[in-house]
Amino acid sequence: MKLIRYGNPDFEKPGIQLPDGTRIDVSAFGQDFDEKFFAGDGLRNLSSWFEKHGATCPVISQETRLGSPICRPSKIICIGLNYSDHATESNMQLPTEPIIFFKSTTAICGPHDKVIIPKGSEKTDWEVELAVVIGKKASYVEESEAMDFVAGYLLHNDISERAFQLERQGQWVKGKSADTFAPLGPFLATSDEIPDPHNLDVWLKVNGELLQSSNTRNLVFNIPHLVSYISQFMTLLPGDVISTGTPAGVGLGLKPPRYLASGDVMELGIDGLGVQQQQTTGFKA
């Protein structure tokens, strides 16, 4: 299945995107796509419900805004420097174990919402990433069993303010968590939709220029390792997001560096996970 949420910000309703691209409202199922949904075997229950009731569900206009496909997860966990070429362009040593940092859930927005360059920003940057959604509570998971805890996958633009992230004291989270800095979607593809998440083309353009182009086979630490590793340090809850890192081609790594300005357009995609497009806008008090 491909799960979507649609409507005005903070008032999104749940839906499903069919293989032909048609979007169907499933509000009558009675659950949003949140922690309780994933924890309660919601994917299987929704599939069974839709087989019986799908023909009577309303069709959603293609013009309707899409929100994040998941309703406010408990946490967004990001992995730093997880492509060797990105570590090189950042002038940082390739990690020997995963670098973990958090991104505030208040940064979440829809896949085509405007990205707001924050107040005082000088170096707002782009990062296309494969994100993994956890399907059930995970603690001290063995790597051999880790994929059993994956509900599905999302496209994520890990927007980053590099001056906040790297030039001011403290952790990276300051540069990752401004409002609209986590566009998710357009849909969540359940794990059965993505047979091999380690062989997906990943790309991003700014104003039509291709700047990032790679494949998830180039991940330094693969998905089973990441799920297992993170679960040694914290409990992963259903609906939590793990963003697996970005390849080379970010603004920080260009020579000279290049950053987003108001009016720039980002377009990005991953095989099987759709395409996002965001236009940037300046901060307005």
Work out the pLDDT band at 203, boundaries 50, 70, 90.
very high
CB of 209 closer than 8 Å to CB of 22? no
**Domains in the chain and their CATH numbers?**
2-60 (no CATH), 76-282 (3.90.850.10)
Residues counted in the chain: 285
Binned at pLDDT 50, 70 and 90, residue 162 comes out as very high
Helix (H) or strand (E) holding 227: helix 223-231
Which neighbouring-strand residues pair with 266? 206, 278
The Cα–Cα gap between 281 and 118 comes to: 9
Is the pLDDT reported for residue 171 higher than 90? Answer: no
Residue 273 dihedral angles phi and psi, to the nearest 5°? -120, 10
Place of tokens 């990205």: 115
pLDDT tens figures, 16-40:
999 999 999 999 999 999 999 999 9
> 213 near 249, Cβ under 8 Å?
yes
Q: In which residue are the tokens 């919402």 written?
A: 113
What's residue 86's pLDDT? 78
**pLDDT tens column, 3-21:** 999 999 999 999 999 999 9
CA distances from 50 to 61, 70, 136, 164 (A): 19, 18, 22, 45
pLDDT the model gives residue 87: 76
* C-alpha span between 275 and 101 (Å, rounded): 25
Q: What is the mean pLDDT of residues 264-275?
A: 98
Residue 285 confidence (pLDDT) = 64
**Is pLDDT above 90 for 228?**
yes
Identity of residue 51:
E
CA distances from 80 to 27, 116, 133, 190, 246 (A): 37, 23, 17, 24, 8
Half-sphere exposure in the Cβ direction for 246 (13 Å, CA): 26
As a whole number of angstroms, the distance between CA 252 and CA 254 comes to 6
Q: pLDDT band for position 140 (50/70/90)?
A: very high
Q: What is the mean pLDDT of the chain?
A: 96
